[in-house]
Each structure stands twice: as C-alpha cells, then as structure tokens.
Amino acid sequence: MFGFRRDKQAMPAAETALPGRDTPMPVTEAHRITGLPLQPPWPAGCQQAMFGMGCFWGAERRFWQLPGVRITAVGYAGGFTPNPVYDEVCSGATGHNEVVLVVFDPTQIDYPALLQCFWESHDPTQGMRQGNDVGTQYRSGIYCFDAAQQQQAEASRLQFQAALTRAGLGEITTEIVPAPAFYYAETFHQQYLDRNPGGYCGLGGTGVCL
C-alpha cells in the first residue's frame, strides 16, 4: 500500500519520511487486563516508562505481567511521521519504533526492575532487527522521561554489557534517548496476546541475566 524502502534497516531522513496526518488514532477501550484507561490522567503516584524491544505484542505482555505495572499500551515513537498507522511504520518510511508505554506504581516496582525485564527479554545486540523481524521498527530502545531514568538506563547498559561480554556475546546497540512523542497503535494491537493467546510473540533473549 505504502511501498517498502529498499533498505528497511536504515533510518529515513526527516524530509523523505511519510507525511502522516493530524488526527490521532482513536483510543476507545480500557486495558484488557487491569480495566484502567489507556490514556492519561494516570492513577495517582504512577510514573511512565517507554521501551522498544522488537515486536510490541510480546514486549507488552512481558510488562503487564509484572506486579506494580498498572497500564501498558503499544504504539509508535522515535520517528518523524505524525500519527502513523501500522502499515506505514512497517514500510520503514516513518523512522518510528514499535514501543511499549508502561505506567507503573513506584511503591510496588521501581524503574531498575523494569530495566531488568527489558534487558533480559530480548537481544539488544542486533541493531535494526530482533530475530527474524527486520527493520527500523524492531530496534532496541529505552526512552527516558527524566534525567534519573536516563542515568539509571545508562548504568544498567554498562552492567548488562559487562554480563554479555563475560558470556562472549556482542555489543549493545540499544538507543537511550529522551522520550519522544508516543502515538497509540490501533486497537487491534493493544494487549494483542490477551486477545490472541496463541499469537506471535517475537521475543527471544540472550539467556544472560542482569
């Protein structure tokens, strides 16, 4: 429909990215597991985190299973196209990553615990791919909402790299940057593996623990 770029593992330039649209994706349902709204305002005292770790279906399930995580939502971030749709992101012409927005209660689970789940649930050494899923939308990324998250993310990367090196594995390619705009994915994708328990997950870790 939108055409595919010849090299899906190369980020497009801002001036060549798809134009997108002014209208956001409608968000009409509550979280299928917790029953809470997928959009703010968030429950009192909760904080946000955002991660990209391959196909967002499996990534989202890893986080909603953690005690203290109140809401998860999948979407697109890190690219140039406003309010993209799934086919546009898959074309490689938006620059967006498939990401999971995580809303958590810091009195029940802290940010380092989320980082541990992130590192151990995928292979962060593969660049613009995750397993058989190839393209810029499958890159590993940590998107930080404040300086404290940035510092903790950078420190955890050093720790996990040391563990990978001891195991004889490669260099981390994860991008760690300030959180960009988050665009909600279509309802079909939200809590996909609850809608389709036998559906494709796409995650495979390195077997190394933080």
Is the distance from CB of 119 to CB of 62 less than 8 angstroms?
no
- Exactly one of 55, 90, 117, 144 is catalytic; name it: 55
Residue type, 10: A
* 55 tagged catalytic: yes
Contacts 24+ apart (CB under 8 A), 1-9: 1/87, 2/87, 2/88, 2/91, 2/93, 3/91, 3/93, 4/91, 4/92, 5/91, 5/92, 5/93, 7/92, 8/92, 8/128, 8/134, 8/135, 8/136, 9/127, 9/128, 9/129, 9/134, 9/135, 9/136
- Kindly report the backbone phi and psi dihedral angles of residue 52, in degrees, each rounded to the nearest multiple of 5, phi listed first: -120, 130
Q: Give the residue numbers annotated as catalytic, written as ranges.
A: 55
